Structure 1
Amino acid sequence: MIRPLLASVAFLSNLLAIDGAQAASEVAPPKAAEWRTPPPENVVVIDTNKGRIVVELIPEVAPGHVARFQELTREGVYDGRTFFRVIDRFMAQTGDPDDTGEGGTKKPNLKAEFTFRRDAATPFVAAAAPAGTEVGFLKSLPVVSQAWNWAEVTSDKKVSAWGTYCPGVIGEARDEDVNSANSQFFLMRQPYPSLDKRYTAFGRVLAGLDVVRAIKTGEPVAKPQDLMVKVRLLADIPATERPTVRVVDTGSAWFGAEIARKRAARGADFSVCDIELAVDVN
């Protein structure tokens, strides 16, 4: 069975004190110059029987996984695939051509991309610096990184970083072999940092997290009926029906203020998963 590891419920319960929606309506929206428009080839529109999910792929963190996802999407492999393993307060898994959790495509398995190297040009925006690390965002993806001062002593003048499993993060499923990922993936319903550096994270839900959380649960799902009806890259959707997708620029003043608000509200309990991105999908 290809699956992400499930940590204890007791451990998870300590991670769920998130107040992301609180007072969101009280904050002025980003100004026109503070929005970012993701490249359409890196935006995935997943139309399910429960509604639409919009995902941004982040090739900077896992280029091989992003390329495979784009390839399978364009080949129609994900159309009609069921959500066969869905665990409340954890994740929803899909992407198996056999809809069993045991299958994959005939393409070669993917090499793990659990971490990546970031340099001074990487568009990483720090939100906090706990215990010699930095946590923040690379575009829409929440990321944990070695502290930047370590770059002074590394041969490539870079530091290691990795996507962290906040709600909405998309990760690639695998079996015991770390290089066994192929086509199956999962969408996080809740935060689960125990998956960090053990499963490749390569994007995040921009819109439709409520849809992800509405999918029928089960391990496996009994008679799964919830499915991805159609999966397309934004670049491939005809202009007449293509949605417009914008997300706040994490380097903007608006986002800096949002980080400050959340840190003040959460205090010692602050987590990068507390920060919600402003997103505009029409």
Structure 2
Amino acid sequence: MKNSTQLVAWSLLAGFTCCLNQSAYAQDAWRQLDPDNTLIIDSSKGRIVIEMRPEIAPKAVERIKLLSREKVYDGLQFHRVIAKFVAQTGNPNNRDGGTSKHPNLPPEMMFKIPYSKIGVWASQSSDGATGFIGSIPIQTLPLTDPIKSDQVPMRSWGAHCPGVAGMGRNEARDSANSELYFMLDASRRLDRDYTVFGRIVGGMDVLLKIQHGEPPKQPDVMLSVKVMADLPLDSRPKMQIATDAALAQIVAKMRQEKGADFSICDITIPSQFE
């Protein structure tokens, strides 16, 4: 049974998308994905589309593109999938602890970014703030006047909401290498401890069908993993996601509906096929 938060979120999104499609504003409500920073995973359960944001984790995004182009990810299993938590894949040995031939990555759990680079603000409280960089939910420290004037970049980190994608690692914080994980549900305890690099913007329903287990008895696999820019034009998903302006309206509606119970993880990014 869907929980009340999901029902509220989905009903708001359905109503919002309906209004967009029926109004003149609809043309300005959707944006194209950046082909150079969109990852396409064709899995045994279907296609998953991920928006990557190099301004959040440049080394991680660079590594994922490299491994995709080397075809390292093709055929790898979802080797650890825990209901209501996470799906892990991307290890060449199909087990935790596997690595590619490339060196481990430096930690990118936190990043600094100017205030003006945040597309949408969701909340600005005395002990911190939340917002979105593209489709990626983020958390920051309190917004002081120097931060708001862009004199001091914000110390920020990715929020582990449903669909968020990150780099798996071993015990050492600088041990991320090739492993990927995708959040099946919110788990904010992972914030500032793992590198977030993107979010699923298409195919979340596919991810939720992945076989569970540690390891699964019959694991699903990533049949192919490609950067969208490397696909022929006629093979690229004809997909758009909500603009910052449209997302700001969704945030405002959610805050009005839920008040103090509002969380950034309540927001799902609308998408549509052209």
With structure 2 as the length reference, what TM-score do the two structures score?
Answer: 0.91
Cα 1:97–1:261 change in 2 (3 A) is same
1:275 and 2:267 equivalent? yes
Deviation for aligned residue 1:241: 1.7
Match for 2:136 among 117, 137, 141?
141
The structure with more helix, counted as a fraction of residues:
2
1:237 and 2:231 equivalent? yes
In structure 2, distance between residues paired with 1:69 and 1:99 = 17
With structure 1 as the length reference, what TM-score do the two structures score?
Answer: 0.88
Report how many aligned residue pairs link the two structures: 265
**Which AA in structure 1 matches 2:77?**
T
In structure 2, distance between residues paired with 1:191 and 1:66 = 22
**Which AA in structure 1 matches 2:6?**
I
Cα 1:133–1:76 change in 2 (3 A) is same
Cα 1:104–1:127 change in 2 (3 A) is same
Question: Counterparts of 1:212-223 in structure 2 under 5 Å?
Answer: 212-223=207-218
| 3-state SS, counterpart of residue 240 of structure 1 | helix
Deviation for aligned residue 1:150: 5.9
Match for 1:175 among 164, 170, 177?
170
Question: Counterparts of 1:33-48 in structure 2 under 5 Å?
Answer: 33-48=28-43
In structure 2, distance between residues paired with 1:153 and 1:42 = 28
1:227 and 2:217 equivalent? no
| Stretches of structure 2 lacking an aligned partner (at least 5 in a row) | none
| 3-state SS, counterpart of residue 231 of structure 1 | strand
In structure 2, distance between residues paired with 1:59 and 1:271 = 25
Q: Do the aligned residues in 2 keep the contact of 1:207 with 1:281 (CA within 8 Å)? A: no
Question: Counterparts of 1:228-267 in structure 2 under 5 Å?
Answer: 228-250=222-244, 252=245, 254-267=246-259
In structure 1, distance between residues paired with 2:149 and 2:234 = 49
- 1:72 aligned residue: 67
Deviations 1:65-92 (A, max 9, x none): 0100111111111110100100000010
Deviation for aligned residue 1:152: 5.1
In structure 2, distance between residues paired with 1:278 and 1:174 = 30
| 3-state SS, counterpart of residue 89 of structure 1 | coil
1:25 and 2:14 equivalent? yes
Deviation for aligned residue 1:41: 1.0
Q: Do the aligned residues in 2 keep the contact of 1:48 with 1:227 (CA within 8 Å)? A: yes
| Stretches of structure 1 lacking an aligned partner (at least 5 in a row) | 1-14
Deviations 1:55-113 (A, max 9, x none): 00011100000100111111111110100100000010000111122211110100010
| 3-state SS, counterpart of residue 31 of structure 1 | helix
Cα 1:266–1:98 change in 2 (3 A) is same
Q: Do the aligned residues in 1 keep the contact of 2:130 with 2:139 (CA within 8 Å)? A: yes
**Which AA in structure 2 matches 1:88?**
A
Cα 1:161–1:23 change in 2 (3 A) is closer
Mean alpha-carbon deviation: is it higher for 164-173 or for 131-140?
131-140
**Which AA in structure 2 matches 1:240?**
D
| 3-state SS, counterpart of residue 41 of structure 1 | helix
Deviation for aligned residue 1:194: 0.4
| 3-state SS, counterpart of residue 25 of structure 1 | helix
1:201 and 2:196 equivalent? yes
